Amino acid sequence: MIRLEKVTKTYGDNHTHALDHVSLNIQKGEFVFIVGDSGAGKSTLFKLLIKELQPSSGEIYVNGKRVTRLRRRKIPMLRRDIGVVFQDFRLLKDRNVYQNIAFAQRVISVPASKIRKNVAEVLTLTGISEKYRSYPDQLSGGEQQRVALARALVNKPKILLADEPTGNLDPGNSKIIMDILEEVNRRGTTVVVVTHNHEIVRHMNKRVINLKNGIVVNDIGEGGLRA
């Protein structure tokens, strides 16, 4: 589903390595945490997967597509199969919950009747159906993150990438988000979560890829077995 082959990404004239010959393979249906201290390369890896960045060397494959050789006009097609959740929510402040989620469907020209059905489904999944008329500034941080998650899921992506999805949340709301992600994974979506929250990582007992200074220092499979 996701494969990196000796991927290196350098920045600046001094060629500082954000990632250094990283190779990894994430199978369809896996739930994987990517962890590491600040500067370890987690955000760079995240941006490479959605082709916001191009690697300096190496190859990246996502959902059968060779991302490193993908032409610009085909990037939107790549991203249709990837749901993305950010720590800072990135909701449209002038649109209510329903409109924020529906926007992701409208940009790919889904018919209005299907939009209503699909939005209702993800509102139920994320537990915010009663908030569909509310605007972002009327919601708590946990509710805003659930809206962002619903928006990422409404197009039924094959892969869900979440960048610090609990970074701004208290433990109670963090658990709600992780429970939703686990349910999404049970339904067949491949889930990749970038996080600093080691408590959640220990509690979830999933595969963990640990980055340090741009290198994979360990890769522990679900249940504590080395992958």
Same domain, 207 and 195: yes
Mapped onto helix, strand or coil, the DSSP state of residue 214 is coil
The whole-number pLDDT of residue 78 equals 85
Interatomic CA distance for residues 34 and 192, integer angstroms: 7
The position carrying tokens 């290196």 is 8
Same domain, 132 and 180: no
Same domain, 116 and 53: no
Mind listing the pLDDT tens digit for each residue in 149-206? 999 999 999 999 999 999 889 999 999 999 999 999 999 999 999 998 888 999 999 9
Residue from 162, 160, 164 nearest 186 by CA: 160
Same domain, 162 and 140: no
Same domain, 181 and 112: no
Residue 72 maps to which CATH number?
3.40.50.300
The position carrying tokens 């649109």 is 95
Same domain, 151 and 178: no
Mind listing the pLDDT tens digit for each residue in 114-156? 999 999 999 999 999 999 999 999 999 999 999 999 999 999 9
Provide the number of structural domains found in the chain. 2
Does residue 209 lie in a domain region?
yes
Does residue 86 lie in a domain region?
no
Same domain, 65 and 165: yes
Same domain, 121 and 22: no
| 50 contacts 221 by C-beta, under 8 angstroms | no
Same domain, 20 and 117: no
Same domain, 7 and 74: yes
Does residue 127 lie in a domain region?
yes
Same domain, 30 and 128: no
Predicted TM-score (pTM) of this structure: 0.92
Range of the domain at 25: 1-81+158-227
